[in-house]
Amino acid sequence: MLLFHAFVFAICVHATGQNCINSFLLLSSLESSTRHAQPAQGPLSGQQVLSPPTTSNPRESSIWDVISQTAAFSRVAALIDQHADDVRDILASTQNNLTVFLPTDDELDLISPGFHNMSSELLHETLLYHIIPWPLTLADLLCTPTLPTYLHPQDLNGPQRMKLDISVAGIKIDDDAIVRQEHMAASNGIIHAISSLLHPPAVAALDAVLDLPAADFSIFQHALRHTKLAEEVQAADFSGSTIFAPSNLAFSRLGQDRIGYLFSERGRDELKAIGMSHIVLNETLYSNAYYARDAKLYSAGQGGECAQLNVDRRQTSDLLHLCARGTRHFELETLRSWWILRVDVVRFTRWIEMVVDDVVLVGEKNLAARDGVVHVVPQLLFD
């Protein structure tokens, strides 16, 4: 066990460059020989106690039974019961094997009043976003940078994915919610308590690019507006997208004279071609998942092999290669129709690198949007 923890700890530090000590303290409560969660453990300081139901055996009760009988989840249980019958049915079904992330009543009390004014549609989407179609322990969560949820936005060619990071405080979801050490077992999955409500991405991928810090991305943002490319993409009909956002540093390699020419009337077409070379529609590539053009398929790979799995199956077998190793190769057709981006994803469990056209190492990865994903690149993907 010690050797296992030390090995995963080394991978975590190498992959994230962060202090992972607190995250790996989470493993002390797990039995590495089983993938099943144990009953709820003691709370962190100042947090609400998760007392398992006393009326029945949790391992014979569904996730919905456990939630509805646990005092700490009374408010979220009431929300589900009153506004989301299908969510309740998903959590109650013994045909499913799930992971559910839920804030306790104490955490909901800290949420702004705007939460209570959510539309029924947004509340429904938000609840679906808290459900993962696989049963995952804390150790499993350490292994993956993104996970699919039960939310399937109309503009996305696959399920909405949440982002997971390892921080000093523990496992962090979407740069906000912390997964607490406590978890509860049920007959059809695992419940993890989290520090705040999760919110599915609200903006499109292109709008997410335009909202990036201007100090780092103003040139690309200006190029999208100057060439009207932003308007064209926003008006386009597509399902899923991948945008590689070049930083100001990437443009600075061209030199001021060249940048000045591109933003002139004579250079506008070439500037637009540069922008189009960074945008892919109808294909969504995360660092650990790929959704193909015009097909709601999930691809997971190991050692260069890819297996396509129907994402609507939601079976435990779809957990294939959660901690995969090896290299996957993808060829993405950009808006500049004859311009193909060759992307290699090199992975060893949590450590993942994305390399474009053999030379460009992707910087920040997996900035999720409601219709795709954004990755940051330090060089232009243009010849």
CA dihedral 113, 162, 165, 289 (to 10 degrees): -170
Q: pLDDT tens, 120-155?
A: 899 999 999 999 999 999 888 988 999 999 999 999
User: In this predicted structure, what is the pLDDT of residue 41?
Assistant: 40
Regions of the chain short of the pLDDT cut 70:
1-59, 109-116, 294-321
Q: Look up residue 335 and give its two tokens.
A: 């808006």
Q: Is the separation of the CB atoms in 43 and 184 below 8 Å?
A: no
Q: Which amino acid is at 307?
A: A
Q: What is the pTM of this model?
A: 0.82
User: In this predicted structure, what is the pLDDT of residue 268?
Assistant: 97
User: In this predicted structure, what is the pLDDT of residue 119?
Assistant: 84
Instruction: Measure Cα distances from 238 to 135, 220, 223, 282 in Å.
Output: 32, 22, 22, 6
User: In this predicted structure, what is the pLDDT of residue 21?
Assistant: 42
Per DSSP, the three-state class of 306 is strand
Q: Look up residue 246 and give its two tokens.
A: 């070049």
- Torsion sign over Cα 34, 39, 42, 47: positive
Using the CB atoms, write b or e for 237-250: b if 16+ within 10 Å: ebbbbbbbbbbbeb
**Which long-range contacts (C-beta less than 8 Å, at least 24 apart) are formed by 3-9?**
4/32, 8/139, 8/142, 8/349, 8/350
Q: Which amino acid is at 116?
A: H
Instruction: Tell me whether residue 235 is exposed, middle or buried, using C-beta atoms within 10 angstroms of its C-beta: 0 to 12, 13 to 18, 19 or more.
Output: exposed
Q: Where are the alpha helices (DSSP H) in the chain?
A: 2-16, 21-25, 63-68, 74-83, 85-92, 105-109, 120-128, 138-141, 205-210, 214-226, 229-235, 248-252, 256-262, 268-276
Domains and CATH numbers, the chain: 2-194 (2.30.180.10), 205-377 (2.30.180.10)
User: In this predicted structure, what is the pLDDT of residue 4?
Assistant: 41
Q: pLDDT tens, 165-181?
A: 998 989 999 988 999 87
User: In this predicted structure, what is the pLDDT of residue 92?
Assistant: 96
Give the integer Cα–Cα distance in Å for 109 and 374: 33
